[in-house]
Amino acid sequence: MTRGKIIYRYAQRVLFWAFAALFVVSLTRLIILQVNYQRDIHLYDDIRDAYATVQPAAETAPAVDEAASGGGEAGAGASVGEDESAGGGAPGDGDDAAAGGDGPDAASSGEAASAGGEASGGAAAPGGGGAAGGGGAASSPAPPGEAPVLTIDLPALREINPDIVGWIRIPGTNISYPLMQGESNQTYLRSAYDKRDASSGSIFMDYRNARDFSDQNTIIYGHNMKNKTMFGSLKNFRSLNYIFQHPYIEIYTEGSLRKYKIFSVINLEMDDKVYYNLRFTNKERYRSFLLELVSRTVADPGLAFTPNDPIVTLSTCSAGTETERLVVCGVLDSVVFDAAPDDAAPDDAAVEGAVPEGGGTEGAGADFP
């Protein structure tokens, strides 16, 4: 056998075993991914069964139900009305952050001060109040014909993990998850509610937002999973008919249920100003921000609201480029409170649904999933 044939056969064997090893590694990774995929599908089933009790729609009215100033009926197009309250706040500097984040895996370079903590001992104001205190599970009856409501045992959930700030649900969809908030936007990007590693991560609030939902723009993130878990079904809201069939985003906190009505669905880049504007120094700037959200929507349900109305922004990855995101924005429509111990009614600010001034803008260095 010639030297050339020996080298040739040796090379064949090396290539064969190299491809065999590559095949085994790839197959192993595929099996692991499939196991994790199936595990993630059922990851939250147990916690829903244990801590989120479904109740049928009640025939009676809720104990306290203060409607926010917005959330009007669907019309020919969304509109943002003028602020009717006295004084629009002092003009401020620009509300956009000066510098952007570095992408989904960027580490934050600093934390912005959050406005307010969890309120205690009273009802919160629609459009900026904290969660009602007094402990206990968050629950509320629903008018006849509406989707069944949940009773969320938040105290028990917080014994599992104090980072659980509430529960998010979109009735009629599979979006029903504990809502987390970590020290950064990376904390729950690949971690479940109990901090176990999970490729699907968690649904979590931006670490810069106030836990009591007092910011004018509260951002909530979730992965766009192919198995339709987490925020994998948000893409359906590009259809106006789907919005009409599933108009509300529900946020359960301890003692209250906030209902936001969807008004805008936007495809944008991850460095978009939406992610930098959480608070505004005056209502005119906030009004301009809302008008821009309405003008950019791919599906306009035609709601009417004012700069008194805070919003939530649900954000997930898009099927486009790595930097493209899909956001679904909802404006506060109503807040339903559990009866306070003294049956105290909300103050004037709560009835008006006024958004507190102050807080300004966030600084640079935010990290966006």
Residues 6+ away with beta carbon under 8 Å from 285: 92, 95
Dihedral (Cα; 252, 313, 232, 234), 10-degree rounding: 100
DSSP of 15-36: HHHHHHHHHHHHHHHHHHHHHH
Location of structure tokens 């009640």: 58
H/E stretch holding 152 reads strand 149-152
Give dist(CA 191, CA 199) in Å, integer.
7
Q: Specify the amino acid at residue 293.
A: L
- 317 labelled catalytic: yes
H/E stretch holding 159 reads helix 154-160
DSSP of 167-200: EEE-TTSS-EEEEE--SSTTTTTSB-TTS-B-TT
DSSP of 225-252: -TTS-BTTTGGGGGSHHHHHHS-EEEEE
**Is-contact 334 71, C-beta < 8 A?**
yes
Out of 112, 165, 265, 317, pick the active-site residue: 317
- For 324, how many CA atoms within 13 A lie in the half-sphere containing its CB? 7
Based on C-alpha coordinates, what's the Rg of the chain? 23
H/E stretch holding 41 reads helix 3-41
Give dist(CA 257, CA 67) in Å, integer.
12
Active-site positions read: 317
